[in-house]
Amino acid sequence: MKKEYILRGLACASCAGKIETEISKLDSVQEVSVSAMTSVMALTLREGHTSDFTETVKSIVKKHEPDVVVIDKEAVINDDNREYVNNRIQWQGGWKAKIGQLILGALIFAAGIATEHFYTGNVYTSTILYVASYIVLGGKVVLRALRSIARGQIFDENFLMSAATIGAFAIGEFSEAVTVMLFYQIGEFFQEAAVRKSRKSITDLMDIRPDYACVKRDGGIIKVAPETVSIGELIEIKPGEKIPLDGIIVEGEGMIDTKSLTGESLPRFVKQGDTALSGCVNQNGLLTVKVTKPFGESTAAKIVDLVENAGSKKAQTEKFITRFSRYYTPVVVICAALLAIVPPIIAGGGWSEWINRGLVFLVISCPCALVISIPLGFFGGIGGASRKGILVKGGNYLEALNDLDIIVFDKTGTLTKGVFEVTKIHAAKGYTEAHILEIAAYAESCSNHPIALSIGRAYERTVDKSKLLDYVELAGHGISVKMDGKKILAGSGKLMENEGISCAEAEEIGTKVYVAVDGVYAGCIVISDEIKPDSREAILGLKAKGVRKTVMLTGDNKLTAEKIAKDLSIDMVHAELLPHRKVEILELLDTKKRHKGKLAFVGDGINDAPVLARADIGIAMGGLGSDAAVEAADIVLMNDEPSGLVTALEIAKATRRIVWQNIVFALGVKGIVLLLGAFGFATMWAAVFADVGVALLAVLNSTRAMKMDG
């Protein structure tokens, strides 16, 4: 059983990690992920544990973050709550109050400095002013630290800053203590603002979620929540409005903006009979749409869900940093204590100097720069990809793209347009081309396969299905049916071979549908599928980015498949495959990838779902692909363009570069300042920079991932 909770007001990445760790230890929980970026907790309960889990979650969250409000996502049903959900990942802090606190604290601190330097005889007044400014600036920090200690959670940022600054007061460094707290709070403010801006970028992606639907009921038009609209109802979309639910246009025509789904700014013309996808914007014309999917299964809802839950699948680098931070802080705190106590005991004095060095260690020991910026880097990469019409379901898949070694493509609808046309008809003796087309059209009339539909379009007449008996669809081979008392077979060369029917091999490049009547070859229909304009560019681009081997799998005939593979510079091709053979070949290829290399499969059809799920990285052509393929995939290319793979790879590499820049920079600066502090060369100011300053710079660096063009 899966559950999702909205953690309203959650901003602390470290606290998110602690909440996640504590909940993961519960017997009833199989898997849990808490994202500070999206303020969402996603968890899976073990079998048999289906009771309400909300109160347990609330008690654990309250222990770590008392001000965070826990909301069960399933309970969000009315308009007000839904509107809140759309905006829940925006910054919850009161920035005006924060600025007021900083200004007031700074003014009192300035008065303390002025009193100390210009009224040297009045020591008590300056001390009182320092204490007052410290209370204004750091009072909440100390209170949060005390609450954490009461819960047995010592090593958090509040405790470290409180211990360091109170320690500075204890050794008489009043102004230094207040200075550290002031700059710490200023750094926190800018850091929070940077994270807020990053979240806002992701919130903008959520704008595809419609707020209402205008449904035709009781002879009029009423505005309702999209969740309340049923399949089969008619909705009206005016110019400038978002399409709220997926459906078929039954009246009207116009241009729709699909940028929010595909990343492409070019509007698309739609008319009666065309599909309307939720999340697109109607630019002109009045459209009436018959709803075909409930809101929860609509394109917009699925995309919002994909982006929201992307943070739940963490990259290996994120997991490493989480583990590293658990040990880093306690180790540095122990070193700080030893540095403050051992040298003066051995040397017999100098307590003030060594305690000050120990306090420098305390300030540096918080791993915030890493626990905030690393998830934000991956989150930014996912957001940047989304704006390009590339939906990545988790940081782990974005990271895995960097190690892509073998990429396997389905042919139809992936490398080719999947729009088939009859280009040639061969008729055996005793038959005409028109007769062969008619027989094939009747035989294929009950199938929704693109090839069958192309034959139906070429026939251009209505098929009387009452003439058909004993219709059987032979998976991967073709059709068997009785018509006018005769047994008709229509399908691949394999079907003819299995039935012992000899037929002439057509020389044209394309898919062949062979037709036999009562066990005798009657003719052949050649159907061609056009290669997508950017397929060759995509293959060459992937090879340039380090992909070692490209492979194409298809059920099409060998001659056609080899011609397409040659034109696209694909390294290996397997043709005339039944669906289950694709999985077998994929498993064989999986054994041939390099150490730590990843294998990806790219497909679009319902038959591709098992292969997508089996690959290390399943990539679906989502714009026109089947729901099953999109559901099974790890990455979805909404614009159906293979070149999106190259863009995804570029974004993945840029994201990894940014993440490792942050890791090296943060650990490097902290390491240097720790060494300087141990030898007495680093002040508390340097320590504050190594903590808050480095965190701020790392966060700002991570926001670059949001703006990547690939």
Angstrom distance (rounded) from CA 458 to CA 437 = 8
Angstrom distance (rounded) from CA 67 to CA 63 = 10
Helix, strand or coil for residue 678? helix
**For 408-429, b where at least 16 C-beta lie within 10 A, e where not — what string?**
bbbbbbbbbbbebebbebbbbe
Nearest to 10 by CA among 20, 1, 2: 20
410 is a catalytic site residue: yes
Q: Residue 703 CB: number of other CB atoms within 10 A?
A: 20
Helix or strand holding residue 585 (H, E)? helix 579-590
Strand partners, 56: none
Which residues have CB under 8 Å from 100's CB, separation 6+? Answer: none
Nearest to 603 by CA among 443, 448, 458, 414: 414
Helix or strand holding residue 220 (H, E)? strand 220-224
The CA angle 402-403-409, to the nearest 5 degrees, is 95
**Catalytic site residue from 257, 405, 410, 691:** 410
Is the distance from CB of 49 to CB of 30 less than 8 angstroms? no
Angstrom distance (rounded) from CA 527 to CA 412 = 12
Is the distance from CB of 268 to CB of 258 less than 8 angstroms? yes
The CA angle 500-503-507, to the nearest 5 degrees, is 145
Angstrom distance (rounded) from CA 677 to CA 686 = 9
Angstrom distance (rounded) from CA 567 to CA 571 = 11
Cα dihedral angle (411, 415, 418, 420), rounded to 10 degrees? Answer: -90
Nearest to 436 by CA among 500, 508, 503, 528: 503
- The first and second tokens of residue 641, run together, are 């363009």
Which DSSP symbol is given to 118? H
- The first and second tokens of residue 13, run together, are 């990445």
**For 668-681, b where at least 16 C-beta lie within 10 A, e where not — what string?**
ebbeebbebbbeee
Catalytic residues: 410
